[in-house]
Structure 1
């Protein structure tokens, strides 16, 4: 790709990159989207084989295109999601260039804009939108040393049970990924232990409506800041096998042993915090709170939705919760694999601009960074709770495109155009 100029360079062609391209294109703003792999690559190559979207097809999409050949209440497979974004990019004519890796972004000296260096040449741009998302660098806590078990992998590297050596598996992390992987492994016949930390546990469906619908009508998707201390709390929800409410008691009844937060390792023994019961209870609290809020909404609005009194009943805690295991001799327990479903970190080493706070996090408000001309898109809580979800990123992208439009007006101002 020869050196060129454009108004906006968008880095990344996942859901955020496609979304901002639609809004920039609708405003006639020249731009290019640079993607080092394929469109929506992480959906294809960095997720396990059986993954489906965590929201139903009617919800987890952009406004301009529905999923084809899929029931609106079904959950799209990872391949269908990736194909959806390819089709959307084609529909809007997004100027995406795949196989182009951005290696650095630096502000010009003595003139506006930025020099964007790539694996295929340089691009000069007035604005840069960082649409690389939050899932850039897999995080594996430095707890268990290499070689302590035959296999340690991050959830982004897990594909299916047959990938792991024979033996028991410890899954660390009880968000959507950890729960679904643990359940799949158990159904394949493995002995499975699941390390459960703090989490939110919404109902998959209640009174005939998906939890995505409830969060919408209750205004919870629009929350602008997370509850204190819950900025990084995971959400245990699943669209697997047609969608179901995650129930840790049911997982235990199916043979998964629950343990607390994984804390340390020494001499072949892994140790867990004595917090399992508290973590389960915390998830129950968020679950029941949503049910009560939904009931109040139904009554307040006179809706004819079937009651579900049974949904409010929680069964007794299993023995693994009331008498939790605090230590595990990995060899004696036959644990040959650990799957770390412990999230991701961002990686902005290529972004050489003053757009970060003292902790290295993007310093931004609704995606508008402290470095004029640089924007972030697709991050959790960028503007509200829904920001990192498919539909939420589309609305955040519209705001950023509006902001760029306004700034272009200032930059293109000419005193000769003044009246009087």
Structure 2
């Protein structure tokens, strides 16, 4: 894996060796396009190095549809754990056999009069097109307020969490209730640790409803085929994922139930003053909004079942099993016995190497289905690049296939124009 000698020119350069970049390489090879893939670390390293020990998929294995590499194991309706995911990805890496340079950072991509110039740790080259497949999850994000917490409290980002046993004794504060935060809070809770969870605006979803996995219902309804071009869908690119889990065969994550079992819940974190953390009094709103989405998804399934006259178990509506008696707006970590703070606050993108004008006012790439406004520049692997599954194993192959097809058309159109420019 990896080429020994770097060429001076390629038809395409792919930046990023995760599932998106490797999917692009698969289709580029299939189309006979000479290319190279640069990966700052190692192929699919985030799955290997930034996942906790009990990590598992939250979507069924049957949604693992990397190009020419669908899940073919014994449990299509189950949820692969970390070691199984790595085996699936390792096999994909071997199957693609990409011209991959690992541990090779791309430092600059810039436009030239005839194409693009790419500076990498392995050398500089020119190319006719570039696929940026580095996603939005480049760097750990931790709010600057974390700097104000006492040094005797261990602080970790969720990317560095492995298991309960690896943390010092004492209670744990998890900041953030998205997919990672909610699942890690559960992991600690099941291990018998006292957990404090700072909530956010993440919605939740049932795991199973009316006899089936909700993902299967949503697939039948066509939710995964809705594109960002549909009315009102553009904002989805920044939405937080629903929290649920595939652990132990899959189940709901109900923060209210955790509270009944002793987990302490808070509204959004806003500041720290030494050992004292401050929160907005919006816990109830967060819980109510998450339940509203939960019941809304189930109602969508109810409508589908009624319209299709499907024989299924009766419908139900989630009723809160716990309500906050009051809103806690501050907490002294020392007094509460909290010795660990886990920041489930997500990641930030790193587009600093991109010297091509493809971004909007928020720093997000302007694109339609991966095609930017700069001819020859493409993006892949972003959440809601085109559909719900764009950033996941479900649809990254479809996006990569489309992008590479467009890239091939671009190359065929650009070549005659370049020859005419040179001749002129």
TM over 0.5: yes
Residue 394 of structure 2 aligns to a residue whose secondary structure is helix
Query: Are residue 16 (structure 1) and residue 20 (structure 2) matched?
Result: yes
| 8 Å contact kept, 2:149–2:275 | no
Write out aligned runs for 1:241-256 (5 A).
241-256=248-263
CA RMSD of aligned residues (A): 2.2
Q: 1:324 aligns with which of 318, 322, 327?
A: 327
Write out aligned runs for 1:266-305 (5 A).
266-305=273-312
| 8 Å contact kept, 1:14–1:85 | no
Moved more, 157-166 or 285-294: 157-166
| Matched residue, 1:123 | 125
CA distance in 1, matches of 2:409, 2:310: 43
Give per-residue Cα distances to partners, 1:53-78, cap 9 Å, x unaligned.
11111113325223354411111122
| Matched residue, 1:239 | 246
Residue 56 of structure 2 aligns to a residue whose secondary structure is coil
**Gap regions ≥5 residues in structure 1:** none
CA distance in 2, matches of 1:42, 1:416: 42
- Alpha-carbon spacing, 1:81–1:282, altered in 2? closer, same or farther (3 Å): same
| 8 Å contact kept, 2:218–2:301 | no
CA distance in 1, matches of 2:188, 2:219: 33
Query: Are residue 65 (structure 1) and residue 69 (structure 2) matched?
Result: yes
Write out aligned runs for 1:156-235 (5 A).
156-221=159-224, 222-224=226-228, 226=233, 231-235=238-242
Residue 177 of structure 2 aligns to a residue whose secondary structure is coil
| Matched residue, 2:318 | 313
CA distance in 2, matches of 1:338, 1:305: 44
Deviation of 1:205 after TM superposition, in Å, equals 1.6
- Alpha-carbon spacing, 1:101–1:313, altered in 2? closer, same or farther (3 Å): closer
CA distance in 2, matches of 1:313, 1:342: 27
Write out aligned runs for 1:94-113 (5 A).
94-108=98-112, 110=113, 112-113=114-115
Q: Give the paired residue count.
A: 411
- Alpha-carbon spacing, 1:353–1:313, altered in 2? closer, same or farther (3 Å): closer
- Alpha-carbon spacing, 1:209–1:96, altered in 2? closer, same or farther (3 Å): farther
Residue 333 of structure 1 aligns to a residue whose secondary structure is coil
| Matched residue, 2:384 | 381
CA distance in 1, matches of 2:418, 2:91: 44
Give per-residue Cα distances to partners, 1:148-188, cap 9 Å, x unaligned.
25211111111111222111111011111001111111222
**Gap regions ≥5 residues in structure 2:** none
Q: 1:40 aligns with which of 44, 60, 68?
A: 44
Residue 144 of structure 1 aligns to a residue whose secondary structure is helix
Deviation of 1:4 after TM superposition, in Å, equals 2.4
When normalised by structure 1's length, the TM-score is 0.92
Residue 140 of structure 1 aligns to a residue whose secondary structure is coil
When normalised by structure 2's length, the TM-score is 0.91
CA distance in 2, matches of 1:6, 1:229: 35
